[in-house]
Amino acid sequence: MAPGNITVKDDLVYNHLRPWLGHSLLISNGKEWARKRRLLTPAFHFDILKNYITTFNTSTNTMHEKWRSMLTDGKTNIEMFNDVTLMTLDSLLKCAFSYNSNCQESTSEYVSAIVELSDLILNRRLRIWHHWDWIYWRTQQGRRFKKALSIVHRFTREVVQKRRTIINHQRMTESQPDLSTAGQRRKDFVDIILSSKDEDGQGLTNEEVEAEANTFMFAGHDTTASAICWTLYNLAHHDHYQEKCRQEVMDLLQGRDEHEIEWEDLSNLPFTTMCIRESLRLHSPVQAVTRKYTQDMLLPGNRTVPKGVICLVSLYGTHHNPAVWSNPHEFYPLRFDPNNTSGRSASAFIPFSAGPRNCIGQKFALAELRVVVALTLLRFHLAPGVNPEVGSISGDVRRLPQLVLRAEGGLWLQLEPLKLEENDVKLEHTPHHAVIEDTNTLPKVLFS
- Judge residue 209's burial from the number of C-beta atoms within 10 Å of its C-beta, 0-12 exposed, 13-18 middle, 19 or more buried: buried
First to last CA, the chain: 15
Are the C-beta atoms of 204 and 193 separated by less than 8 Å? yes
Distance CA 17, CA 429 (A): 46
Distance of CA 233 to the CA centre of its chain: 16
H-only helix segments in 137-260: 140-172, 189-195, 206-236, 239-252
Q: What does the angle CA 12 – CA 13 – CA 16 come to, to the nearest 5 degrees?
A: 95
Q: In what order do the strands lie in the sheet with 310-314?
A: 7-8, 288-293, 310-314
229 marked ligand binding residue: no
CA distances to 199, 388, 396, 433, 434 from 392, rounded to whole Å, are: 60, 8, 9, 11, 12
Are the C-beta atoms of 304 and 297 separated by less than 8 Å? yes
**Three-state DSSP class for residue 439:** coil
Pairing type for strands 288-293 and 7-8 reads antiparallel
Q: Which of 268, 281, 269 is nearest to 333 (CA)?
A: 281
Count CA atoms closer than 13 A to 134's CA, side-chain side. Answer: 0
Distance CA 176, CA 188 (A): 15
Distance CA 83, CA 69 (A): 13
- Show Cβ contacts of residue 277 under 8 Å, excluding neighbours closer than 6 positions: 333, 336, 349
Distance CA 410, CA 387 (A): 7
Pairing type for strands 437-438 and 397-401 reads parallel
Count CA atoms closer than 13 A to 91's CA, side-chain side. Answer: 31
Distance CA 329, CA 275 (A): 14
Task: Tell me the binding residues for heme.
Answer: 359
Residues tagged in the binding site annotation: 359
